[in-house]
């Protein structure tokens, strides 16, 4: 399917001395890759909130009011902390999303993943993907986030504000085990293996980057959302190992402040690069109308950033339009 397979094989030879193995469709653990291999669109959604008070207290920050008699009204009590087992059951019960977009892997997320497994979730039914810190600002922090997220059971990483192809190469190196030529420690991944439903030894074999390794189960998503990234777009899009290339449409609203036409032109520039290099192209959408418009243009990977009625309806719309 991908015209870049020759480059991908070359990239694998340079980055890690592994043997390419053709993955059987039925053996695929990461459903996102299975959809890519069939040329089908992918629809993700934000997972439920895991902490109390997410979004603040009505935007007032807990400020007190003044009663008619002049006495201060105490702030409302904070909402109770979500019960993680209930959150996990809700997540597992929603069957239409192809993946869940999360903020990373803090301690509460690790507890949530335990509850996800108890509720019947697995990488095959509920894969997770999250952003990492911007690589060129602090490679060490980004590399640490990669290890933390993958060890929690994530199926890959989303790179923010990529501005050079070298960042992608370094990120892939951080995702690969040290024994395979990378820098990821060869330990600490038992929880990931458990969520994937395989042994730690099997996890070591499968936790490599696709499509560089056609038998790999990890993906790298790349976001273009700055002027330097747009200037280097051709070089970035040509880099092997990208599973999906995204436009950071929200961030570009600030980059092209007061210039909506420039913002849209930049988005179409990213889409054109995706088509040129035959990479699935991602767009952040939040409602059915946006899904319909962007699918017509040729975008094929989506994330609904709000877990609400509009987000759920957008996933349904996308699946219907794609015949899924």
Q: How far apart are the first and last CA of the chain?
A: 19
For residue 62, is it within any domain? no
For residue 26, is it within any domain? no
For residue 190, is it within any domain? yes
Domain that holds residue 259: 5-13+41-49+82-321
Domain containing residue 282: CATH number: 3.20.20.60
User: Across-strand partners of 149?
Assistant: none
User: How much is the pLDDT for 8?
Assistant: 35
Residues in CB range of 276: below 8 A, 6 or more apart: 237
Q: For residues 266 and 277, give the distance between their C-alpha atoms in angstroms, rounded to a whole number.
A: 17
Q: How many helices and strands in the chain, by DSSP H and E?
A: 14, 10
Residue 20 near residue 208 (C-beta atoms within 8 A): no
* Count of domains forming the chain: 1
Helical H segments across the chain, by residue range? 5-15, 31-38, 84-93, 107-118, 139-151, 165-175, 190-196, 200-206, 227-231, 233-237, 249-255, 260-277, 288-297, 309-321
For residue 24, is it within any domain? no
Q: To which H or E segment does residue 42 belong?
A: strand 42-46
pLDDT tens figures, 186-243: 999 999 999 999 999 999 999 999 999 999 999 999 999 999 999 999 999 999 999 9
Residue ranges, the chain, pLDDT below 50: 1-25, 54-69
Q: What are phi and psi of 307, to 5 degrees?
A: -90, 80
User: How much is the pLDDT for 103?
Assistant: 82
Name the token pair of 74: 């105490």
Residue 217 near residue 28 (C-beta atoms within 8 A): yes
pLDDT tens figures, 49-72: 898 764 432 333 333 333 444 557
Residue 196 near residue 123 (C-beta atoms within 8 A): yes
For residue 88, is it within any domain? yes
User: How much is the pLDDT for 78?
Assistant: 80
User: How much is the pLDDT for 105?
Assistant: 83
For residue 61, is it within any domain? no
């Amino acid at each position: 399917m991908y015209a870049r397979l020759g480059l991908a094989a070359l990239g694998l030879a340079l980055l890690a001395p592994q043997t390419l193995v053709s993955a059987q469709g039925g053996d695929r653990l990461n459903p996102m890759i299975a959809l890519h291999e069939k040329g089908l669109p992918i629809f993700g959604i934000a997972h439920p909130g895991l902490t109390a008070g997410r979004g603040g207290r009505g935007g007032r920050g807990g400020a007190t009011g003044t009663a008619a008699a002049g006495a201060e009204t105490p702030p409302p009590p904070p909402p109770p902390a979500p019960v993680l087992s209930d959150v996990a059951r809700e997540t597992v019960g929603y069957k239409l999303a192809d993946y869940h977009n999360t903020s990373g892997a803090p301690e509460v997320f690790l507890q949530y993943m335990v509850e996800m497994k108890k509720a019947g979730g697995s990488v095959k039914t509920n894969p997770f993907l999250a952003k990492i810190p911007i690589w060129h600002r602090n490679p060490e922090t980004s590399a640490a986030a990669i290890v933390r997220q993958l060890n929690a059971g994530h199926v890959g990483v989303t790179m923010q504000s990529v501005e050079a192809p070298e960042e992608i190469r370094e990120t892939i190196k951080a995702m690969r085990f040290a024994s395979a030529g990378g820098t990821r420690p060869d330990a600490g991944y038992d929880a990931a293996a458990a969520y994937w439903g395989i042994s730690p030894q099997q996890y070591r074999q499968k936790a490599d980057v696709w499509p560089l390794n056609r038998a790999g189960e990890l993906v790298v998503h790349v976001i273009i959302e700055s002027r330097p990234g747009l200037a280097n777009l051709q070089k970035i899009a040509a880099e092997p190992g990208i599973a999906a290339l995204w436009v950071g449409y929200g961030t570009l609203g600030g980059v092209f402040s007061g210039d909506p036409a420039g913002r849209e032109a930049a988005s179409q520039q990213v889409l054109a690069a995706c088509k040129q290099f035959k990479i699935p192209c991602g767009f952040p959408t939040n409602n059915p109308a946006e899904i319909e418009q962007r699918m017509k243009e040729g975008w094929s990977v989506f994330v609904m950033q709000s877990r609400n009625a509009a987000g759920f309806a957008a996933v349904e719309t996308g699946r219907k339009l794609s015949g899924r």
